[in-house]
Amino acid sequence: MARSKKIVLLGHFGVGKTSLVRRYVDSLFSEDYLVTVGVHVKKKDIDLNGETISLIIWDIEGNSAISKARKSYLLGSHGFIYVFDVTRPETFENIGAEIAYLKNEYSNVPFCIAGNKVDLMQAQSLKDFFEKEEFKDCTFTSAKEGENVEKIFFDIAKQMI
């Protein structure tokens, strides 16, 4: 029998949380922007070290701060993916405080950071721009191109097991 693990995607409006989930679960991408109201839940079974794990992925509505997310959405989480848009500084300018909040409030829950929409930046610009310490463990993703999408979900799954 598969073990279930709840993953919650966090971040501002429009950073690509829904697109990452759709790319990962359904292998789809759409240019159309759909606002998430409340929460969308998707499931994907994966094999990790010979064991089937059911990832229950919660795509919650965007907020300007994690502390504004509904606590009921975060309860029972086994992992978080914090997503920001590499082209919109307002989505990552407080990343240090956001990560500190996660570590303080959910100290036993692992997390990954995804800098999404890298297809909109040149590689050298991306590297130069995100040299700061708070981005050292960040995985840069593109839901549009599929870049590192599997990796970010696999990384959080490994941390949860």
Q: Can you identify the CATH homologous superfamily of domain 3-160?
A: P-loop containing nucleotide triphosphate hydrolases (3.40.50.300)
Tell me: the pLDDT tens digits for 112-146?
A: 999 999 999 887 777 777 787 778 889 999 999 99
Pick from 86, 78, 80: which is nearest to 102 by CA?
A: 80
| Beta-sheet strands, E only, within the chain | 3-10, 39-48, 51-60, 79-85, 111-116, 138-140
pLDDT over 60 at 37, yes or no: no
Pick from 94, 141, 153, 100: which is nearest to 117 by CA?
A: 141
Quickly state the pLDDT bin for 108 (edges 50, 70, 90): very high
Lowest-pLDDT range of 20-24, 65-69, 74-78, 153-157: 65-69
